[in-house]
Structure 1
Amino acid sequence: MRSLWRIIANLFKWTWRLINFVREFILNLFLLLLILVGVGVWMHIKSANQPVEVQRGALNIDLAGVVVDKPSVTNKLGKLGRQLLGASSNRLKENPLFDIVDGIRQGKTDDRISGIVLNLRDFAGGDQPSLQYIGKALREFRDSGKPVYAYGDNFTQAQFYLASFANKIYLAPHGSIDLHGFATNSLYYKSLLDKLKVSSHIFRVGTYKSAVEPFLRDDMSQAARDADTRWVGQLWNNYVAQIAANRQISPEQVFPGAQQLIAALQKNGGDMAKYALDAKLVDELATPAEVDQKLTKVFGWDKQANDYRGTSIYDYSLKKQPAKGNIAVIFADGAIVDGEQTPGTVGGDTTAAEIRSARLDDKIKAIILRVNSPGGSVTASEAIREELAAARAAGKPVVVSMGGMAASGGYWISTPANYIIASPSTLTGSIGIFGIINTVEKSLGTIGVYTDGVATSPLADVSVTKALPQEVQQLMQLSIENGYKNFLDLVAKSRKMTPEQVDQIAQGHVWTGSDAKANGLVDALGDFDDAVKKAAELAKISQPQLQWYQQQPSFADMLFGQMNAQIRAVLPETLQSMLPAPMYDVMSMMKKQPGLFDKMNDPQNRYAVCLTCGDVR
């Protein structure tokens, strides 16, 4: 019997030892794998930081993804991501606008660069002022005597806009140019909220403040429709006019209208490529192989790469800027939120701290605030504005450079500036405020759940599960009206108007940069270069040197940010492709709708947001 127990005990003992061995082996294997991955990543980063030898030949503008003022996470691992994780997230990549422009301008005077090739098949676009700024750099490159070529199988509107700056555009014989116009679309939820029995308490000031309409209506109001029709039409006219000038054709040739376009295609049998050639939108129809031959004659052949000689814009190293500059460049790029900054947002505390740092730095003589924001939290906007006003009061000139959007809260933070410069296609204004508090007491009541209790004051008896007390509603409306009055006063003081004059162009009305200039909301039309010149002029700086204020992400932020982009690129599309088409469209629109589905964390529930400014397609 003892022998049997001994055998059983030994069996359990050796089994336990085997389990421990397997566990330790797996953990050690995982640790070894982690070390190898870490070493590999470090080596890739180290090699990525080494300057790539520039090929004598073309500078390939092979942009992939979108162009933004400031990427959510500095893409130092972009090359690593392409090498290790593939290119599936290319269209989610964020490209810094100013690096692209600096690269093109550097290539203009680089003897190794003899021309530019625009290969934009993976380019997803950017706001119109950003595209105009890149186009300006391409025009400067052309004017230096170096040619610019563009080719593609198909061109989207954003791709063709940049391609139009080329000396010569090649289109595949089976290709097309998708020119269709601009549109905005938003989701409206009133019926859904009614069905869910959600009580939406809306507090607003401004006839045209359409950001709250999705909670109040199932469609766009006529006032909002009229206002949006105006600025969307102006953006499209600016787009068409620029392409017409670049191609030296009439605006009607660029886009004759939907019916005329269909009639022309009916005549030629629906051949989109031939239509583009006949309308002089492109210079030649050519297959990729034919384009390669043409570019090889211009730039030479690279035997190692089996391609014409050239260097990607991603491998083209920019000259190092001085460590310390005399003009601070601070970004307000994204929705404005209260507290610390997170990727894709403007943190009130973070941005105010950057402005304060520039204000206290004796070497900084002027500040450029680059604004590209639809607005957001009123509290956060005021924190940024106050710090910017303090910098101006300290004797440091402040110049605001507006990008694609500087609306609502984006305009609020611009008010302390000595000088405001906007692009003709900037969307700005939208001077108005709203507040939203949703309660679900009716929803819970339908399933037999209720909330009850006692409170020392109606103002204390606030809960998402209870009806909003009348006193709280009155208090909120007073707070919103006070915020709007403050907004008018800030603009009036800044723009040397009366509050009554500001109110006539406010009420939440969105203006293009051109209209904003006519209405006195901005000082001049121009781009970032003009902002630098103005800042240097105001600060009396003979040799301006820029100091870019950008948070440097940690290694983990960069690594996981790159991996997250890959996951977002592959997994959601795979899963969402299984959904019915209408549901997929709804999910895509919800992700794009700014201000409502991002963080709304204002402590007073007050927001200055332009809903439609970020959704022009």
Structure 2
Amino acid sequence: MRTLWRFTAGIFKWSWNLLNFVRELILNLFLILLILVGVGIYFSFQSSTPVEAHHGALLVDLRGVVVDQPSMNNRVRQLGRELLGASSNRLQENSLFDLVDTIRDAKDDKNITGMVLQLNDFAGADQPSLQYIGKALREFRDSGKPIYAIGDSYNQTQYYLASYATKIYLSPQGAVELHGFATNNLYYKSLLEKLKVTANIFRVGSYKSAVEPLIRDDMSPEAREADSRWVEGLWQNYLMTVAANRQLTPEQLFPGAMGILQGLQAVGGNTAKFALNNKLVDELASRTAIESELVKAFGWDKKINNFNAVSVYDYQPKQTLDKGGEIAIILANGAIMDGQRTPGTVGGDSTAAELRQARLDPKIKAVVLRVNSPGGSVSASEVVRSELSAVRAAGKPVVVSMGGMAASGGYWISAPADYIIASPSTLTGSIGIFGVINTYENTLSSIGVHTDGVATSPLADLAVTKALPSAFSQMMQLNIENGYKNFIDLVSSTRKMTPEQVDQIAQGHVWIGSDAKKNGLVDQLGDFDDAVKKAAELAKLPEWQLSWFIDNPSLADIFFSQFGISIHAMLPAAIQSMLPAPLASVAMALKEQPGLFNNLNDPQHRYAICLTCGDVR
């Protein structure tokens, strides 16, 4: 018996020592990692060693997506990748404005003699961002420096940028994938009925289709008509730009599904030859052959055994001298939420605080609010709008620069500006409002769970486990209608229109920038550069400098952001690989749907948001 006890105690003791060893090992590794990150950051920001001048091409090897405001600034993100790594290049975020500045600096750099676009890992950007990058590429090319695009294949987004190249190379086994744009949403009415979930919907606007997934199993005729108009507008803008770059007509660039089919039949299904015959690319060549051509253009670098080039991630832009009055650049990027900003969202309190800081800073002479948002909480939108109006009332001009979308709540916060500039492809408008409250009384009842009690008033007896009282539902609808009226009055007063005129173009209608200009919702078609120039003009600044209101992440932010990227890149694929094929497809579709519930935190359950605006493929 004593021997058995000693054996059992030994096992426990050994197990305990093993657990302690593993715990200490993990903690020590974590500590070493933090020390390395800290030392790396210190030397990265403190080093005064001059950067070696690069001679040759600027290699634009974009990885991931281009956004207005990445979760972290470029230098910190680059360091995080080097020290911690990331599991997927396609999850990387790139700053639109940093990228454009880099291209423009390289244009004026005598050591940079050309550019190579290598876009295999470029995952995408909204169309106005692509247009802005394309503008910088056009300036680079017009300076007399060649641009070469190289790729195994080009998807629609990659080809947009490649079309600005002096010469486009394609692999003999590659393709140029042009197919048009489409939107697809999941509809949950039947699912909610099977789950016995009651979706209480309150809305105003014939075209406010954000809640349709909860009350229908398909798209309404009104939503189909509205979405068809702006999706077709985006596609025509794409075709016009790319066709002009390639000196083709839009019909030659994209002859339609049957035209492409006939063209492929003529070349026996060879997609690369089809692209060459239709002048989508200039030459079919292997990687080795392309490398030889680039060596002829830029010379050979013995250190890296490749043509002379510096990556866009390593190129150090020149330092500009500060001069003139300051123009504040405040970014409103993502869904509008109540409270503080989180990565990928617009925090109502955070953005209002930045606007207040700009209003009270005597060095700030004007404000450019860059809006790239589908909207969100009405409460948070009003907090931002109110502070924006205060900036304007303080005598500081406010110009809104609209990015890919400034719809619904995104337009709510834009309306008070002195001047609004949108891209022809910006999605804006969507002036409407809705409310959603789900209750689960029938779901619980079906499994034998019931709720009962007493209350001094029907309004006190609100719970997701009970049906909404009739009085509350009527009050909620009145509140939504009042919110819509406030939205209409806000737009009419700031845009110098009557409420009736606004209502005709409201009702949840989504407009592309060119149509919004015709309807009086924006003042000018242009880009970020035009917005800065307009702000300087209104503030009467002959010279100016930009003051970017961008958060500086902490060391913990760096670590956990990179850790999160790695986990995000790893786990979904692993989980999906274990699912049967049909379930995996559904899981992927659900993952790609815009968040209908995760961005809803308005205290009064009122939302001004366009959920279809960001779902164009």
Same fold (TM over 0.5): yes
Q: CA deviation at 1:36?
A: 2.6
Letter in 2 for 1:590: L
What's the counterpart of residue 153 of structure 2? 154
Aligned 8 A contact 2:148 2:166 in 1:
yes
Structure 1 residue aligned with 2:190: 191
Hey, what does 1:363 align to over in structure 2?
A: 363
Separation in structure 1 between the aligned mates of residue 266 and residue 10 of structure 2, nearest angstrom: 85
Shift of 1:305: 0.8
Residue 418, structure 1, aligned to residue 414, structure 2: no
- 1:34 corresponds to: 30
Q: State the match for 2:131 in structure 1.
A: 132
Distance (whole Å) between structure 2 residues aligned to residue 469 and residue 174 of structure 1: 64
Cα displacement (A) at 1:581: 3.8
Please state if 1:313 is matched with 2:312: yes
Secondary structure in 2 aligned to 1:175? Answer: coil
Structure 2 unpaired stretches of 5+: none
Change (3 A) 1:256 1:451: same
Aligned-pair CA distance for 1:435: 0.3
1:550 and 2:547 aligned: no
Q: How does 1:86-235 map to 2 (within 5 A)?
A: 86=85, 88-235=87-234
Contact 1:76 1:558 in 2 (8 A): no
Partner in structure 2 of residue 574 of structure 1:
574
Q: 1:41 to 1:464 in 2, by over 3 A?
A: same
Match of 1:254 in 2: 253
1:17-39 deviations in Å (ceiling 9; x for gaps): 98887676655544443333223
* Matching of residues 40-79 of structure 1 within 5 Å: 40-46=36-42, 48-49=44-45, 52-79=51-78
CA separation of 1:430/1:29 partners in 2, compared to 1, >3 Å: closer, same or farther? closer
Look up the equivalent residue of 2:435 and give its one-letter code. Answer: G
Match of 2:428 in 1: 428
2:297 — aligned with what? Answer: 298
Query: Any idea what the Cα deviations from partners look like across 1:147-198, whole Å, max 9, x if unmatched?
Result: 1110100001000000000100000111000100000011100000011111
The alpha-carbon distance between structure 1 residues 581 and 181, as it changes in their structure 2 partners (threshold 3 A), is farther
Deviates more, 1:106-115 or 1:124-133: 106-115
Q: Contact 1:63 / 1:123 at 8 angstroms: preserved in 2?
A: yes
Moved more, 485-494 or 77-86: 77-86
The one-letter code matched in structure 2 to 1:477 is Q
Once the two structures are overlaid, the 10-residue window that deviates more, 468-477 or 576-585, is 576-585
Give the aligned partner of residue 503 of structure 1: 503
Cα distance, 1:276–1:459 mapped onto 2, change above 3 Å: same
How has the CA–CA distance of structure 1 residues 25 and 236 changed in structure 2, closer, same or farther, with 3 Å as cutoff?
closer
Q: Which residue in 1 is equivalent to 2:596?
A: 596
- Aligned counterparts of 1:14 and 1:268: Cα–Cα separation in 2: 75
For the aligned residues, what is the CA RMSD? Answer: 2.3
Q: Give the deviation of 1:558 after TM superposition.
A: 1.3
Residue matched to 2:390: 390
Secondary structure at 1:368's aligned position in 2?
A: strand
Are the aligned partners of 1:590 and 1:597 in contact in 2 as well (CA < 8 Å)?
A: no
Aligned AA for 2:437? I
Counterpart CA distance in 2 for 1:44 and 1:90 is: 22
Paired residue type of 2:345: T
Once residues 381 and 141 of structure 1 are traced to their aligned partners in structure 2, the CA distance between those partners, rounded to angstroms, is 39
State the distance in 1 between where 2:365 and 2:564 align.
Answer: 39
1:339 correspondence with 2:339: yes
Contact 1:74-1:558 within 8 A present in 2 as well: no
How far apart in 2 are the matches of 1:330 and 1:264?
Answer: 48
| Aligned-partner Cα distance in 2 for 1:17–1:192 | 53
The alignment partner of 1:177 has SS state of coil
Range with bigger deviation, 252-261 or 319-328: 319-328
Distance in 1, matches of 2:426 and 2:379, equals 24
The Cα offsets for residues 453-508 of structure 1, whole Å up to 9 and x where unpaired, read as 11111111110000100001000000000000000000000110000000000000
Q: How far has the Cα of 1:12 moved from its partner?
A: 11
Tell me the secondary structure at the aligned position of residue 448 of structure 2.
Answer: coil
State TM-score, norm by structure 1.
0.95
Distance in 1, matches of 2:83 and 2:557, equals: 17
Residue 447 of structure 1 corresponds to which residue in structure 2?
Answer: 447
Tell me whether 1:608 sits opposite 2:604 in the alignment: no
- For 1:557, give the aligned amino acid: D
**2:430–2:610 CA contact under 8 A, matched in 1:** yes
Q: Is the CA contact 2:86–2:562 (under 8 Å) kept in the aligned structure 1?
A: no
State whether residues 77 and 559 of structure 1, in contact with CA within 8 Å, keep that contact through their aligned partners in structure 2: no
- 1:372 is aligned with what amino acid? N
> Given the superposition, is the C-alpha separation of residues 569 and 26 from structure 1 closer, same or farther in structure 2, using an over 3 Å criterion?
closer
Partner secondary structure for residue 615 of structure 1: coil
Could you say if the C-alpha distance between residues 454 and 9 of structure 1 is closer, same or farther in structure 2, counting changes exceeding 3 Å? Answer: closer
The 5-angstrom pairing of residues 434-513 of structure 1 reads 434-513=434-513
Superposed displacement of residue 86, structure 1 = 4.9
| CA deviation map 1:313-372 (0-9, x unaligned) | 111123346689610000110000111111111010110011000000000010100000
Q: Contact (CA 8 Å) 1:77, 1:562: kept in 2 or not?
A: no
Change (3 A) 1:114 1:8: same
Q: How many residues align?
A: 613
- Report which stretch shifted further, 77-86 or 130-139: 77-86
In structure 2, the CA distance between the partners of 1:447 and 1:321, relative to structure 1 (3 Å rule), is farther
Q: Distance in 1 between matches of 2:178 and 2:9?
A: 75
Asked if structure 1 preserves the Cα contact closer than 8 Å seen for 2:86 and 2:565, the reply is no
Percent identity between the aligned chains? Answer: 64
127-136 vs 67-76, greater mean Cα deviation: 67-76
Letter in 2 for 1:393: A
Q: How many Å separate the matches in 2 of 1:64 and 1:253? A: 30
SS for the counterpart of 1:326 is: strand
Structure 1, gaps ≥5 residues long: none
Distance across 2 between alignment mates of 1:578 and 1:19: 32
Amino acid at match of 2:340: E
| Structure 1 residues 21 and 594: CA distance shift in structure 2, 3 A | closer
Distance 1:493 1:180 in 2: 42
Instruction: State the 1:303 CA deviation.
Output: 1.1
Partners of 2:288 and 2:76 in 1: how far apart?
Answer: 32
Q: How many Å separate the matches in 2 of 1:284 and 1:178?
A: 16
Amino acid at match of 1:180: H
Q: Which moved more, 1:276-285 or 1:26-35?
A: 26-35
Q: Distance in 2 between matches of 1:8 and 1:473?
A: 70
How far the C-alpha of 1:228 sits from its partner, in A, is 0.5
| CA–CA separation in structure 2 for the residues paired with 1:572 and 1:349 | 33
Aligned residues of 1:338 and 1:377 also touching (Cα < 8 A): yes
* Cα distance in 1, alignment partners of residues 198 and 579 from structure 2: 30
1:85–1:566: 8 Å Cα contact kept in structure 2? no
Query: For residues 28 and 399 of structure 1, what CA distance do their matches in structure 2 show?
Result: 55
Structure 1 Cα separation of the partners of residues 548 and 507 of structure 2 = 35
Q: Deviations over 1:209-242 (max 9, x none)?
A: 0001011100000011011001000100000110
Structure 1 counterpart SS, 2:245 = helix
Q: Matched residue of 1:343: which SS?
A: coil
* Partner AA of 1:353 in structure 2: A
**How far apart are 1:16 and its partner, in Å?**
9.8
> In 2, distance between residues paired with 1:65 and 1:581?
27
Which deviates more from structure 2 when the two are superposed, residues 453-462 or residues 201-210?
A: 453-462
